[in-house]
Amino acid sequence: MGEIALADEVVTTERPLSAGEMAAFHRDGYVVIPGFFSAAEIEPLRQACLADPTIGGRIRAVADSDGNAQEVIGWTETSDTWLGKVAFIARMVDGAEALLGQSCYHWHSKLTMKRPGTKGRWDWHQDYPYWYKEGCLWPDMLTACVAVDRCDEANGCMKLVRGSHHLGRVDHMQVGEAVAFDPVRLQLVFQQCEVVPMLLEPGDACFFHSNTLHASGANLSERPRTLLHCSYNTIVNSPFITEGQQHHRYKPFRKVPDDALRAGHWRDVYEGHLFSQRRQKVGEVSDYGYKILKTG
């Protein structure tokens, strides 16, 4: 683990996860790491999102179960931009590998953006049920979520259910306009497990398992709420489905040193980066199980 698939030298993180952090992840299904990125490292992305919350007109709106819009933009590729490097930074890859215990690669990343005073929310769901249908045999997958803005309950922070990864993969079904966690089982889970709001400052990170139940509410504040999600899969778990999953299959990659962002080793925040362009038509179901309302 910790090696670069394409490189002349091994790059490892300056900030490995501690034994306590790894124990928390396996016990609770997530671990919060304050200051995983510095505020200065995150600031270029925060400013770019404030200046243009449509990300150059590329963002798309998808429906929650009530039909309200929430905005998301995703990608799988690397590039010389800020967004094209962040998922490949050593502390992210090494963290994923330490938690999953195997060599990993970048599955996909996305920005989930909530503008001030918007009703859109992410319904309760696990990630693995979607990824299972895309051809991943094992739930050996996780997401590193990094706060771009200050996140609290007023502006729709993410919430996780402690220990819910021990449920395994639970069937997801049509819930209003979305595909989400079985509502009957959801109420039983709430009776037995604690819901924990992820109160994060810019640069704080939360690694969570692909079977950890999570959601987020509407942004009732006058502040934006932007989260960066970088998801990882173990190399041996590359999807066995080939048609339509070429972007998700393992391909060799080059790990980026931890100091790449703070040293300014990127050309632009996002301009010139290749974003996902699949299934963009209004009315179709997105990669996240939600109906697309609009693009741009």
Distance (Å, whole) CA 201 – CA 158: 13
Sign of the dihedral defined by the CA atoms of residues 123, 232, 138, 17, in that order: negative
Q: Note the pLDDT of residue 291.
A: 54
User: 101 CB contacts (<8 Å, ≥6 apart)?
Assistant: none
Q: Tell me the CA distances in angstroms from 5 to 88, 158, 254, 287, one per residue in order.
A: 11, 33, 6, 27
pLDDT tens, position by position, 15-61:
999 999 999 999 999 999 999 999 999 999 999 999 999 999 999 99
Instruction: Give all domains of the chain, ordered by start, each with its CATH number.
Output: 19-291 (2.60.120.620)
pLDDT tens, position by position, 170-193:
999 999 999 999 999 999 999 999
Residues of the chain short of pLDDT 50, as ranges, are 1-8, 280, 295-296
Specify whether the CB–CB gap between 181 and 170 falls below 8 A: yes
Number of H helices, E strands in the chain: 6, 14
End-to-end C-alpha distance for the chain, whole angstroms: 39
Here the tokens at position 92 are 């992210």
Specify whether the CB–CB gap between 156 and 220 falls below 8 A: yes
Specify whether the CB–CB gap between 158 and 219 falls below 8 A: no
Full strand arrangement of the beta sheet holding 195-197 = 122-125, 214-216, 158-161, 195-197
Q: Note the pLDDT of residue 83.
A: 98
Q: Note the pLDDT of residue 10.
A: 85
CA angle 85, 291, 122 (to 5 degrees): 65
Q: Tell me the CA distances in angstroms from 161 to 15, 26, 177, 254, 257, one per residue in order.
A: 27, 13, 23, 34, 33
Q: Note the pLDDT of residue 232.
A: 98
